[in-house]
Structure 1
């Protein structure tokens, strides 16, 4: 779990650079990404559904971003958008389209609904 959170923080950090975050904002966005992924893993391991796990992780990131925005006196979106990046279902979209192109329509529909 720790390594997954570290990778989530790294991906958030990298996206934060593209989003033009600097200094403390970049650091706290990375922490937000790790926090969100950690909450997702905890709820997923507690046998909640994947959408519910994503919802709780998004709620945690939102509360965290609101608190950090007030501390750093910065807009919430600067931390929130970057912190949500690890939760974006990129692989789900990829596999949905892959199954669709391969004419595996049942699998495409199933993966699309899950995504």
Structure 2
């Protein structure tokens, strides 16, 4: 059986990793073992960061909604409870957009949540 040297496959695999590590500093972009370790850590942090970004955005939306409901005399939790009671199904992202870009429309939503709480 002929000897398999894996030259092309191994070089392609190494070049793929080194290309990903091209923006790294010092030996982490040039030395194969350090580049593999750095790239794997970078992929791990990127995966975690994609999940973290969703949490951070939800926190931001909640802060914006809370800040917009306070002048109307409601807290965030009472507002969300009033929305659930009134049957309005708007997600927090859309509510935050309304609060920032169209305060009048957001005021209408707050009024309907208040009416549901009073009833």
Q: TM-score, normalised by structure 2?
A: 0.27
For CA contacts below 8 A with separation 6 or more, give which structure has more relative contact order: 1
Bigger CA radius of gyration? 2
